[in-house]
Structure 1
Amino acid sequence: MSKGNRIKHTFRLPPDLSRQLADYAGRKRVSQASVVEAAIASFLSPDGSERTEAAFSRRLDRITRQLQKLDYHVEVGNEAFALYLRTWLAATPPPSSEPSAALRAGVEKRFENFVEALARHMERETHLADDLTRVDKLGEDQG
């Protein structure tokens, strides 16, 4: 803040705010007038609020893109599971009224195999959503 031409202003502050101003200026070892001047300049500066608004806007845009991507992946997962379930229901006969111990053991083993296969698939770098994106791009290139 320049020490050149200055206009004197007189204003009143509530006692609490006046004490805070005095404490702050004392801790920083600056005059109370310079603290007030800096605060007013900062408050009236359009750059600060515009920068803050731009930063929030960028963050919101990034979060929106992430949510859209998440929504897409959830939709792909739901559709893949529905397709699998329809196929499974069509190919699997209904269970008998009293499943035997051997049948239950077979079911448990098949489920363990399914979980292991799913874990292996999830460890791969490419997933179903990536495959679908690649197929979509191929269709756009040909169309």
Structure 2
Amino acid sequence: MTAKRIKHTIRLPPDLSAQLAEFSIRKRVPQAHIVEAALASFFSPDGSDRIEAAVSRRLDRLSRQADRLEYHIEVSNEALALFIRFWLTSTPPLPDTAQAAARATGKDRYEGFLDALSRRMELGPKLSGELSKDIGPGVG
């Protein structure tokens, strides 16, 4: 035996009525069941707690992702700074007569660097992965 039901007549704005009808067709559920579930959820005392918990979980996930991004940016900045410091301290200045040849060689080497960088970004391995293997788990 089914539970007793009381008939209600409500008026909805046209756009909300269209959304209800479309959702009903898509889910293959009567509109009355959708309205009933929506009202039950609205009047449920723990409804706001569930929403707050869902939002909290999403914020926690975003926070962890932001922390990982911060770590990877820090690793990138430190690696670049170390390379620049090493390069500046170990590379002697060129005489004026060798400047043109150095520029031409530098241009070729830079293009090779860009090719290698694009291949590495597409295929890996990534520096952060190599650091994790070298240092061990639990870092970053």
TM over 0.5: yes
Determine which structure has more spread, i.e. the larger CA radius of gyration: 1
Taking the TM superposition and a 5 Å limit, the aligned residue runs for 1:21-100 are: 23-24=11-12, 42-96=41-95, 100=99
Moved more, 47-56 or 91-100: 91-100
Say how many residue pairs are matched. Answer: 115
Listed as ranges, the gaps of 5+ residues in structure 1 are 5-20, 29-34
Listed as ranges, the gaps of 5+ residues in structure 2 are 21-34
Identity %: 46
Moved more, 130-139 or 109-118: 130-139
Q: Distance in 2 between matches of 1:139 and 1:22?
A: 58
Q: Distance in 1 between matches of 2:119 and 2:41?
A: 56
Query: Following superposition, which runs of at least 4 residues in structure 1 exceed 6 angstroms of deviation?
Result: none
1:80-128 residue CA offsets vs partner (Å, 9 max, x unmatched)? 1111111111222224568743222112112112212222222233211
In the superposition, the TM-score normalised over structure 2's length comes to 0.63
CA-based RMSD of the aligned residues comes to: 3.5
